[in-house]
């Protein structure tokens, strides 16, 4: 089968022919139809992510497809079941072996491309805003990197939770996408003074930050007393240093947040969140925004869209099974 593999951190990934794996105990073999790309993949291919699969490995942490076979002593899901999962790696291939416990059966009405764009982005924003930051109706939510994969879902979910949403993104086209997702106010990070613009809107009660760097510093200073600042990632490449005196004077909370970590120490949080999110999807209250769908043979081009910030929402790669 074909797989998009990292063979060395010094060389770019490439399409390789590899043997189709066999599922072990507690595992399933999935015919992969679609894989959602994430910024974390760009770090993983350089060995810079907090999780480092042993080399060589197949990229792709967000998978949708059909169960082909079960491993020994594995009860389900049954072959033929349409499923999605967040598997850490292995998704950019024509097939893959994953833990059966991670598989989530898909609603009949959910296409594979939606399913591959769903779990990480919506899960990150929903658990972050509802469980970690405790966003309340009537509060003001500032979303940095608001047109990106997780940022856009934070805009959408924040609005569903009753917040006033300020979306910060680069350029008119990306801000238009944020507006369509429900943003009440728009800030152009290329041209606007983020700190001044947010303060002019009354400040922020919750900040959702997958960007870091200068934007974190601006948001920190535009936060209201007792605001909660959710540290989601560092797409800018700069990890900010937090001045503790500002936290003291304004009674601020800065919260570290890694969605994937809950799988090991509180998996029930993820399960409850996914139940809520799939219910919202069935009711038509949320819909993944997928700006680009490319075939597996163009995976390198798909990652270039993330790297160059040319995508909005999610980029999804499909195989022949998902075409």
Q: Whole-angstrom Cα distance, residue 177 to residue 173?
A: 7
Average pLDDT, the chain: 94
**Which pLDDT value is given to residue 171?**
95
Is the alpha carbon torsion for 60, 66, 70, 76 positive or negative? Answer: positive
**Which pLDDT value is given to residue 260?**
85
pLDDT tens, position by position, 166-175: 999 999 999 9
In sequence order, what DSSP letters do the residues of 56-104 get, joined into one string?
SEE--SEEEEEEEEE-TT---SPTT-EEEEE-SS--SBSEEEEEGGG-E
Largest CA distance in the chain: 61
pLDDT tens, position by position, 44-62: 999 988 888 999 999 999 9
Quote the Cα angle for 27-57-60, to 5°. 75
Number of other residues whose CB lies within 10 A of the CB of residue 239 = 11
pLDDT tens, position by position, 252-289: 999 999 998 888 888 888 888 988 999 999 999 999 99
pLDDT tens, position by position, 219-262: 999 999 999 999 999 988 899 999 999 999 999 999 999 998 88
**Which pLDDT value is given to residue 74?**
95
Domain 121-260 has CATH 3.40.50.720: yes
Start-end ranges of CATH 3.90.180.10 in the chain? 2-118+288-322
- What CATH topology corresponds to 2-118+288-322? Quinone Oxidoreductase; Chain A, domain 1 (3.90.180)
- Convert 168-187 into a string of H (helix), E (strand) and C (coil): EECHHHHHHHHHHCCCCEEE
**Which pLDDT value is given to residue 229?**
98
Quick one: average pLDDT of 203-211?
Answer: 97
Q: What does the CA dihedral 194, 199, 200, 204 come to, rounded to 10 degrees?
A: 90
pLDDT tens, position by position, 17-53: 999 999 999 999 999 999 999 988 999 999 988 888 9
Q: Confidence band (pLDDT; 50, 70, 90) for 197? A: very high
Q: Confidence band (pLDDT; 50, 70, 90) for 322? A: low
The 10 Å CB-count burial string (b at 16+, else e) for 281-311 is: beeeebebbbbbbbebeebeebbebbeeeeb
Start-end ranges of CATH 3.40.50.720 in the chain? 121-260
Sheet holding 164-169, edge to edge: 185-188, 164-169, 140-143, 204-209, 223-231, 253-256
Quick one: average pLDDT of 130-135?
Answer: 97
Quick one: average pLDDT of 97-118?
Answer: 92
pLDDT tens, position by position, 292-317: 999 999 999 999 999 998 998 899 99
Q: Confidence band (pLDDT; 50, 70, 90) for 321? A: low
- Counting beta carbons within 10 angstroms of the beta carbon of residue 16, is it exposed (0 to 12), middle (13 to 18) or buried (19 or more)? middle
């Amino acid at each position: 089968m074909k797989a998009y593999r990292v063979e060395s951190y010094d060389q770019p990934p490439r399409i390789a022919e590899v043997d189709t794996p066999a599922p072990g105990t507690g595992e399933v073999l999935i015919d992969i139809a679609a894989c959602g790309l994430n910024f974390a993949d760009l770090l993983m291919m350089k060995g810079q992510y907090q999780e480092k699969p042993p080399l060589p490995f197949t990229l792709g942490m967000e998978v949708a497809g059909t169960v082909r076979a079960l491993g020994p002593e594995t009860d389900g899901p049954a072959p033929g079941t349409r499923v999605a999962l967040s598997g850490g790696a292995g998704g950019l291939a024509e097939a893959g072996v994953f833990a059966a416990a991670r598989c989530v059966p898909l609603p009949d009405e959910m296409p594979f491309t939606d399913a591959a764009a769903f779990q990480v982005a919506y899960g990150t924003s929903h658990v972050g805003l509802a469980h970690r930051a405790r966003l309340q109706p009537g509060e003001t939510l500032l979303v940095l990197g608001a047109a990106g994969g997780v940022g856009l879902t934070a805009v959408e979910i924040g609005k569903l939770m009753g917040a006033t949403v300020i979306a910060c993104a680069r350029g008119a086209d990306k801000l238009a996408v944020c507006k369509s997702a429900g943003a009440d106010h728009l800030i152009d990070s290329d041209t606007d003074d983020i700190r001044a613009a947010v303060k002019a809107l009354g400040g922020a009660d919750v900040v959702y930050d997958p960007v870091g760097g200068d934007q974190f510093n601006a948001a920190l200073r535009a936060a209201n007393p007792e605001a909660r600042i959710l540290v989601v990632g560092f797409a800018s490449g700069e990890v900010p240093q937090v001045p503790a005196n500002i936290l003291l004077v304004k009674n601020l909370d800065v919260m570290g947040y890694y969605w994937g970590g809950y799988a090991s120490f509180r998996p029930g949080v993820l399960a409850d969140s996914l139940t809520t999110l799939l219910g919202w999807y069935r009711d038509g209250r949320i819909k993944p925004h997928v700006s680009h769908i490319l075939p597996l043979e163009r995976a390198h081009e798909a990652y270039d869209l993330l790297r160059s910030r040319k995508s909005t929402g999610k980029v999804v790669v499909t195989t022949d099974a998902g075409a």
